[in-house]
Chains A and B, each alone.
Chain A
Amino acid sequence: MQPIDTAYLSVFFIMIYSSVLWFIVFFRNKNDFPVTAGSPSITFLVPAFNEEKNIGRCIDSLLSMDYGGEVKIVVINDGSTDRTGEIAKQYAGKVTVLEKPNEGKKSKALNYALGKLPVSTELTACMDADSYVSKDYLKRIVEHMGNADAVTPAMKVSEPRTIYQMVQWVEYCFAIFLRRVFSVFECQYVLPGPGSIYRTASLKKAGYFDENNLTEDMELAFRMHDNGQKIGNCVNAFVYTECPDTFRKLLKQRVRWYRGYLQNVFKYRHMILNPSYGNLGIYLIPVNFIWIFVLLFLFIYPIFNIASQIWDFSIRWSSIGFALTQPKFNIGLVYLDFYIVFWALFWVLNIMTVYLSITASGEKVDLKARKKYYIGYVLMYPVMLTIFWIAALWDEISKARLRW
């Protein structure tokens, strides 16, 4: 056995282990939720920059929520040059609009609102202006709060149109599943901008949002863990969000996210392998690094392999003067690769995870209608993910300037 075989077997072990762990945690805790009685008051902070197409939909969804408690909505018009402010002001009486010159960061807009208001409600929520919520989102997410300091929602992609959005649709379903697992493990490391809610006192205690961070929602999650604060999750409080529709936009978004992750892990590096931070320190952060290496290995090694095979092929082909020959298809038992069993195992677990993710997020698998989604996810997502990570690592290492 060659060293490369040891590497492949290790990678397979990691992939199978991760899937098995997620399944066990998910199934053992599927119906284990904290339940909160009552309908505490809440303020929604909606920072908006040039969102004239979406702000109305966002506000309408917040106003339509089925919730018994007091709901305040504050739109922070972050120096928009379109009709965002004008549309928001049409909801006068139901929505407070704060005007602010644009400083390029959502965190500044949120902190501006938190400092200016102040927020007097028991809970505070953040909502991206391009997102909207389901009618029962607030009732469900508050119900699942328990004694948590913050709770994350279940985010879904709104009306996917391009193949990139379809792939992200599947990805976001998977994220709903993973967030449930991370919630049980108390290692949620991001509080998504659209729809996360906080106890106002806990948010104040945490110190609001870091305005110097690429991913302020992730940094806040790390900080809350550092403070010993608890982050919960609700798998059926749905928030629908707009996603990048082109590869270029998606790459830009993901490079920011992944660079943000790397920067935040570095900032909170004292958590790594530290049992004081529970599963976050012992499992999630180290395993994320292992997964980066797994991705890079699975992507880069086959490229070398293919390049080597192309080289061998060109040598052979040149020896016959580049003549055209009959194509040969190696079919038979002998040609089955040793790793076929492991690849089959991995794909079975992968399909089970995707199936579980989709059903857990309240969607129907609907193979016929969504075949493009699944084909795109299977064929494109691993490659895209690897490219995003390579780009993020490259940017971070070269310390490229990145505008949010």
Chain B
Amino acid sequence: MVTNERKVQWKYYFTAGLITLVIFLVGIYFSFFLDKMKVSSLEGSVREMRITQEDAELEMTAINLLGGKKCDVLLHEIEGIVPKAAELGEKLEFYEARERFQDPSYPSLKKDYTLTLVRYWLFVSKAKDDCKYGYEPILYFYSNDKCDDCIRQGTVLSYLKEQHPQKIMVFAIDNDIKLGSITLIKGAYNVTKTPSIILNETLFEGLQDLGKTRELLNLTS
């Protein structure tokens, strides 16, 4: 039993609490600032992607009007654009999966990206038909909501793309995104579940494992 009561030095606790709160709030502010910078960076990349895509479409139109070796030029453009679009898609997916305080402008950003990606897919599909390119544009519908097969399908497609970069182009669309054009495309191909891939105007629903996907793409290895 204590006979000499000790003083609790509250002033130290309060001072430390105040300073910690200030440091903490500064930390929160910087975290939000960092988040804004991330979104700003992504917005810049999506804008650049959209400009590049519009430029490529304009090029095609110009070549059609003015003549010229359009297919060589276009192939060069497409081979540059599509991998960058895929990389941007991965960044968006990473941001969406990991970010704790998502910027309110992110949903619009994602829609912007998706629309641009769909334009790419349409453009690339048409260019393939016009120029008889050897690559296969794949429209791939996935979901982030309890879809383990989507993870597997995404891995298969990424792996095959890595193995055959000149042959495979993957356009990955979030099935849960609400856009009129996406709904239209899904309706046209009768996409009802995820994962689903559209290849050569044909829908393949459910997980297409590595062997099956190779078969669909006529790949020997």
Contact = CB atoms under 8 A, between A and B. Distances in A.
B and A form one assembly: yes
Interface of A: 1-2, 5, 12-13, 16-17, 20-21, 24-25, 28, 185-186, 225-228, 230, 275-280, 282-283, 312, 315-317, 319-321, 323, 325-326, 330, 332-342, 345
A39 B111 CA distance: 81
B9 interface: yes
Chain B interface size, under 10 / 10 to 19 / 20 to 34 / 35 or more:
35 or more
A316 B100 contact: no
Contacts of B27: 12, 341-342, 345
11 contacts: A24-B16, A25-B12, A186-B6, A226-B2, A276-B2, A319-B156, A320-B159, A323-B159, A332-B41, A338-B35, A342-B31
Given A24-B12, A24-B15, A315-B152, A280 B98 contact: no
A316 B6 contact: no
Contact of A341 (B16, B30, B153): B30
A339 B155 CA distance: 28
B114 to A, nearest CB: 17
A227 B100 contact: no
Interface in B3-23: 3-9, 12-13, 15-17, 19-20, 23
A323 B162 CA distance: 12
Interface of B: 1-9, 12-13, 15-17, 19-20, 23-24, 27, 30-31, 34-35, 37-38, 41-42, 91, 94-95, 98-101, 148, 151-153, 155-156, 159, 162, 209-210
Contact of B20 (A17, A278, A283, A338): A17
Contact of A228 (B3, B100, B151, B210): B3
A306 B30 CA distance: 27
A276 B99 CA distance: 46
A142 to B, nearest CB: 23
Given A282-B8, A315-B152, A340-B34, A1 B24 contact: no
Contacts of B35: 338
